[in-house]
Amino acid sequence: MIRKLLTSTVVAGTMAVSGLANALPVASNGANDSLGTAQDINGFFDLSANPQVEDATTIPHVEISNRSGDDTYDYYFFSVLADNSTAIFDIDCGFQDLGLPNTGCSDQDNFFDSYLDLYTSGGAFITSDDDDFSGDPGSENTPFDALLRTTLDIGDYVIRVGAFPGVEVPDEASYILNVSIGTPGTTVAAPGVVMLFGLGLLGLGVSRRRTR
Ligand SMILES: [Ca+2]
Ligand SMILES: [Ca+2]
Ligand SMILES: [Ca+2]
Ligand SMILES: [Ca+2]
């Protein structure tokens, strides 16, 4: 686990400068059925435009797709690199009727009532969500797609996709999970610039005092 943590941190550390091209979704790998085998999504975050994702071009995000549930949970592992980071876990295209397609979803019958649980990588429960009534793009026509918003400090975490009321993803259910981690406007190496600017002002103040 220590080696995994170090590798993940290095990979995720580059995410703020990764490409802006449209990213392909990460496919659920079929072996992510437990906390110990959680699928590592670090290294796939970017700022590509995505109509299903709020603040997509300012908060690093990754789109995960499972086209065929198999009566297991889906666990995804990720690292947070800054305290007080915005964290959004947004299920899209989980529950929709034929004829009422949501943004970015194929027109299909799919009645997956998703349920999200967030844990530390050590398995301590943090929070969960079942339904959401905000009508976010990708879930406009249903409240049954889970959407979890929180803030997280530096550390390793796992988000689990299941079905209401906290059971496994049913056979052949499909969903998209958009994970966004970061803080708008501070993800592109801004702290160093701010610090230098602050030191510059400090120096200005010192020199002014000397000239008086
Ligand atoms: Ca969405
Ligand atoms: Ca699974
Ligand atoms: Ca949604
Ligand atoms: Ca739900």
What are the phi and psi torsion angles at 119 (to 5°)? -130, 160
- Measured in Å, residue 196 CA sits from the centre of ligand 1 at 37
Which 3 state secondary structure label does DSSP give 204?
helix
Instruction: Give a yes or no: residue 202 inside a domain.
Output: no
- Say which ligand is closest to the CA of 103: 1
Instruction: Give a yes or no: residue 208 inside a domain.
Output: no
pLDDT of 205 = 41
Instruction: Give a yes or no: residue 199 inside a domain.
Output: no
pLDDT of 197 = 39
pLDDT of 185 = 58
Instruction: Give a yes or no: residue 194 inside a domain.
Output: no
- Measured in Å, residue 132 CA sits from the centre of ligand 3 at 8
- Say which ligand is closest to the CA of 139: 3
Instruction: Give a yes or no: residue 201 inside a domain.
Output: no
- Say which ligand is closest to the CA of 148: 3
- Measured in Å, residue 136 CA sits from the centre of ligand 3 at 5
- Measured in Å, residue 8 CA sits from the centre of ligand 3 at 27
**In which residue ranges of the chain is pLDDT below 50?**
1-19, 188-212
How many angstroms separate the CA atoms of 87 and 67, rounded?
24
Ligand 3 (single-atom ion) residues, CB below 5 Å: 90, 92, 136, 138-139, 145
Which residues, including other chains, have CB under 8 Å from residue 61's CB and lie 6 or more apart?
45, 46, 47, 50, 53, 88, 178, 179, 180, 181
CB burial of 19-58 (b: ≥16 within 10 Å; e: otherwise) equals eeeebebbebeeebbebeebbbbbbbbbbbebebbbebeb
How many angstroms separate the CA atoms of 63 and 157, rounded?
17
Number of domains in the chain: 1
CATH number for the domain harbouring residue 141: 2.60.120.380
How many angstroms separate the CA atoms of 212 and 207, rounded?
9
- Say which ligand is closest to the CA of 137: 1
Q: Which helix (H) or strand (E) holds 131?
A: none
How many angstroms separate the CA atoms of 163 and 111, rounded?
10
Which residues, including other chains, have CB under 8 Å from residue 126's CB and lie 6 or more apart?
118, 119, 120, 150, 157
Segments forming the whole domain that contains residue 155: 2-186
Instruction: Give a yes or no: residue 24 inside a domain.
Output: yes
Give the number of other CB atoms < 10 A from CB of residue 174.
Answer: 18
Instruction: Give a yes or no: residue 123 inside a domain.
Output: yes
Instruction: Give a yes or no: residue 124 inside a domain.
Output: yes
pLDDT of 106 = 84
pTM as predicted: 0.79
